[in-house]
Amino acid sequence: MNTVPGLAALGPYFAVEHHPAGAVIPPSWRTFEDLATDPDVLRERVGTVRHGLAAIGGLPEETIETRVAASVAHLGVTARLISPALAVAAESGLVLDLAPGETWWQPVSGGPIPVSIHSPQFARSVSDIEKLAARLAENVFDGPIRALGEAFARLSVSRQILWGNVASALHGAATVLDRERPEWTDRTRALTASLRHRAPLAGTGEVDTQGRFRRRSCCLIYRAAPGGSGPVCGDCVLAGNRR
C-alpha cells in the first residue's frame, strides 16, 4: 500500500493509503462494506470503542450504554471518510471513490482508524462549487456514509444523531482545513455550506454569525461519564445549557 500524497500532512483524520488494483490486502484490514453489512464486525467495532470509553472514565464496561459507544464509533468512522474527501474536493475539485467494497479500514483500538482506498479519485475535476457539492452528496454522503449510518442505526442510535455526527465530522474537517490550508478557505467554506443546505445534511445544524457550527443533536459522549455528567462537544446542541 502507498500513501496518498499530501493528505497525511493535514493530520491523522485526513491520511489515507492507496492499494492499487490486484494488490494483496493484509488480513488485518477489513472493508467498510464489512462494517456496514456484517453485524458481528459492527458489534466488534462498537465493543472496542465501548471498552476504550470505559477505560478513559475508569468505569466498568457494562455501564457504558451500547448506543453511546455506537454513536461515538460512528462519528470516528465517518470522520475518517469525510475528512480526506473534503480536503481533496476543496483542493482540486475531485471526488474520492469511497466505494465500501473497495475502501478498507484497520480495527485499531485507539485513535483514528487507518484507511486505504482502491482508487485515489474520480477522474473528472469539477470547478463549480454547487456541482462539486452535488457530486459529494451523491457519491459520498448518500453512498458509503448513508450505508454506515443505516448499520449503526440498528444499534438503537437515532438517525437524527447519526446525521448530526456526519455534519459534525464535516465541519470539524473544515475547521482543520481553515487552519492548515488557509488558501483553500473560500472554497472549503462554500463547499461545506452547500453540503449543509442540501440533502442528506439539510437541517442537521447551522452556522452562527461568527462562523461557528452548532448541530441540532448530540453525539451522546457526555453519557460515558459517571452519572452522565461528562462534557459535551463544542458544536453540541446542549453546549449552551451546560456552561
pLDDT 10s digits, 78-100: 999 999 999 999 999 999 999 99
Query: Where does the pLDDT of residue 109 fall: very low under 50, low under 70, confident under 90, or very high at 90 and above?
Result: confident
Distance between CA atoms of 49 and 59, rounded to whole angstroms? 13
User: Other C-beta atoms within 10 Å of 28: how many?
Assistant: 10
Q: Please enumerate in sequence order all residues whose Cβ is within 8 A of that of 71, keeping only pairs 6 or more positions apart, or say none.
A: 152, 157, 161, 162, 165, 219, 220, 221
Mean of pLDDT values over 18-38: 91
% pLDDT > 70, the chain: 94
Tell me 126's DSSP state.
-
Q: CA dihedral in degrees (135, 138, 144, 150; nearest 10)? A: 150
**Higher pLDDT among residues 18 and 36, named by residue:** 36
List, for residues 120-164, the tens digit of each pLDDT value: 666 567 789 999 999 999 999 999 999 999 999 999 999 999 999
The H or E element spanning position 34 is helix 32-37
* Average pLDDT of the segment spanning 184-190: 95
pLDDT range class, residue 179, cuts 50, 70, 90: very high
Predicted confidence (pLDDT) per residue in 40-91, tens digit: 999 999 999 999 999 998 999 999 999 999 999 999 999 999 999 999 999 9
Q: How confident is the model at residue 20 (pLDDT cuts 50, 70, 90)?
A: confident
* Start-end of H helices in 58-198: 66-92, 129-136, 146-153, 159-180, 185-196
Q: With cut-offs at 50, 70 and 90, classify the pLDDT of residue 239.
A: confident
Would the CA dihedral through 202, 193, 81, 97 be positive or negative?
A: positive
Write the single-letter amino acid at 168.
S
Q: Quick check: 82 and 149 in contact, CB under 8 A? A: no
Predicted local confidence at residue 1, as pLDDT:
56
CATH code assigned to 2-241? 1.10.510
Predicted TM-score (pTM) of this structure: 0.94
pLDDT at 241: 62
Residue 43 DSSP SS3: helix
pLDDT band at 243 (very low <50, low <70, confident <90, very high): very low
Q: List the Cα angle 85/130/7 in 5-degree steps.
A: 20
- The 8-class DSSP code of residue 211 comes to S
The neighbour count for residue 45, using CB atoms within 10 Å, is: 24
Q: What is the pLDDT of residue 125?
A: 76
